[in-house]
Structure 1
């Protein structure tokens, strides 16, 4: 029998960080930033506070790490949706679905981006604004390419579409999914497409 039998494998730094972020995510979503203590997070993660502080020097650092993680996930979902097809009606549908994918998870982590109780903190505000602009900007690039509108006009349209999808998806969850998800997403798609189709296509359809 190996002398290592029964010995628990030591977690790598990346694994430990992931474990701590998961524990913090659950705590922040459940109680909010201000009501969550580092003691609570350490207990959830099953580690000592010194171990927690080795990875994250403060509660704010931990929160920002989570916010960066969720922001990257959302931006990736939006970019994948926009690149999934050249048909603009389908692009809108895919983009709307990306927002519903982001919010429709058991952990409720989307609230860190869409409903943060720490937006008065400058570092949090910058990150929330950055992810909002990144998603709207990704949509705007496609709009500008396809309609020939200038960057400022295209960006405002991107803000409109992204904001509508975000608000509807988040509210749909908050209202405890009052209609089937497919129907909720279809309503947003129809509204978005009815507006954007009024702008003539400037490129040759593929």
Structure 2
């Protein structure tokens, strides 16, 4: 027997899919696919308007679904925003840890991490604005998720430093935070250059700065 993936149903047993404004009807989708579609639509609206300027009506319209479908998955705009933030932070974390673990050559590691950070910032979908330019940055749930991301990234860098240099834990963590902060602040500043500084040139400059500093700590064997 072939089992089909579930689709959204209303409490009355009927699909809540209704034509969005403009008469377009969204096809029925399995729950995970629908959630991904709604997050993509929400990202478009939040990036364009910010959290406070975004409306659930517009997000539903962008996704070509009815508002009941949107609220089935995300009961509030705040929950939708936090889910989207978590998705983007997870993506960035995977990119950075993947770069960090892509080689055992520390020179290449630093270069790969800086490139990954800058390329995320430069992505056409402007997802970085959700992470670094959130107008909910003072919201405890948002700030907690941002701090978790920062700590995860910095701790991963610190572990490599501690393993290679045998520095004490707190010293390694301080260096990890410093390198993570360097990547963050410099990549954000690059955005302000409006393309007047080549992306790869910018990431290479910061890589060289970081490597010349961290390479002065001798590798212990």
Normalized against structure 1, the TM-score is what? 0.91
Gaps of 5+ in 2: 1-25
| Counterpart-to-counterpart distance in 2, 1:87 and 1:28 | 39
CA contact (8 A) 1:25 1:66 kept: yes
Figure out how many residues of one structure are paired with residues of the other and give that number.
197
Say yes or no: does 1:12 pair with 2:30: yes
* Structure 1 runs (4+) greater than 6 angstroms displaced: none
Q: What aligned pairs does 1:1-206 form with structure 2 within 5 A after superposition?
A: 10-203=28-221
Q: Deviations over 1:55-82 (max 9, x none)?
A: 0011111011111101111111111111
CA contact (8 A) 1:78 1:138 kept: no
| Counterpart-to-counterpart distance in 2, 1:32 and 1:175 | 22
Please give the root-mean-square deviation of Cα atoms over the aligned residues, in Å.
1.4
**Alpha-carbon distance, 1:171 to partner:** 2.1
Q: Deviations over 1:127-154 (max 9, x none)?
A: 0111111111111111111111122111
Higher relative contact order (CA 8 A, sep 6+): 1
**Alpha-carbon distance, 1:187 to partner:** 0.6
Q: What SS does structure 1 have at the residue aligned with 2:123?
A: coil
Aligned to 1:5: none
Gaps of 5+ in 1: 1-7
